[in-house]
Amino acid sequence: MFFQSLETLIAKAQQGNKRAWLKLVKQHETQVYNYCLRMLSHPDDAMDLMQEVFISVYKSLPSFRGESSFNTWLYQIVHRRSVEYYRRRKLHQGLDDIPEESCEHSELETNQLQSEQHHELKAMMNNLPWEQRLVVELKFFQHCTFEEIAEQLGISTNTAKSRLYSALGKLKVHLEAVDG
């Protein structure tokens, strides 16, 4: 009886079971955190956004009817919250302009920033406008089809495609700039 299916956990969490909710959070926090990290590039921002996401999920959980998969539903909330977060942050400070910190990182942050691949990914992501970043995230990291992307973001399939094509074009410009 140690294993509980996702449906059971959701049902229990909907009834206000604290343990079930915490288990549900634990099961999904890594993917949500990494999504936030890729989108925002900064561990503190990613942490804040993840917390906002789970608060939002907790509040909306009673309205989850299982019409779509929990993951799809969860990511719809993640996208909405991330867009709101990005806009809110942009009002105060351009996220793309945040300078890279050279010291005073947490151990985790340092490890992450020291990773060359993460650096490269961060640079590639930061090179893109927010909407294109979302499409890239969904296409290459969440492995969604164009239809799924369109559904998640509430846009047409053609718009999703054109955003991805633009993002791919921008990467070319970025790589050319990096190569000199």
- Report if residue 117 touches another protein, rule: CB under 8 A: yes
- Report if residue 55 touches another protein, rule: CB under 8 A: yes
- Report if residue 92 touches another protein, rule: CB under 8 A: no
Question: Which of 92, 72, 86, 96 is closest to 145 using CA atoms?
Answer: 72
Q: Which of 20, 39, 134, 164 touches another protein (CB under 8 A)? A: 164
CA dihedral 116, 25, 57, 92 (to 10 degrees): -40
Q: Rounded to the nearest 10 degrees, what angle do helices 43-60 and 70-92 cross at?
A: 130
Nearer to another protein, 90 or 147 (CB): 147
- Report if residue 54 touches another protein, rule: CB under 8 A: yes
Q: Least distance to another protein from the beta carbon of 25, Å?
A: 5
Q: Nearest 5 degrees, angle CA 77-CA 80-CA 86?
A: 135
- Through-space distance between the first and last CA atoms of the chain, rounded to whole angstroms: 59
Binding segment toward another protein, per CB under 8 A, in 70-78, 83-91, 94-102, 167-175? 167-175
Question: Which of 44, 103, 104, 55 is closest to 78 using CA atoms?
Answer: 55
What is the contact surface with another protein in residues (CB under 8 A)?
Answer: 18, 21-22, 25-26, 29-30, 33-34, 37, 43, 47, 50-51, 54-55, 57-59, 106, 108, 112, 115, 117-118, 120-121, 124, 136, 139-141, 143, 145-146, 161, 164-165, 168-169, 171-172, 175
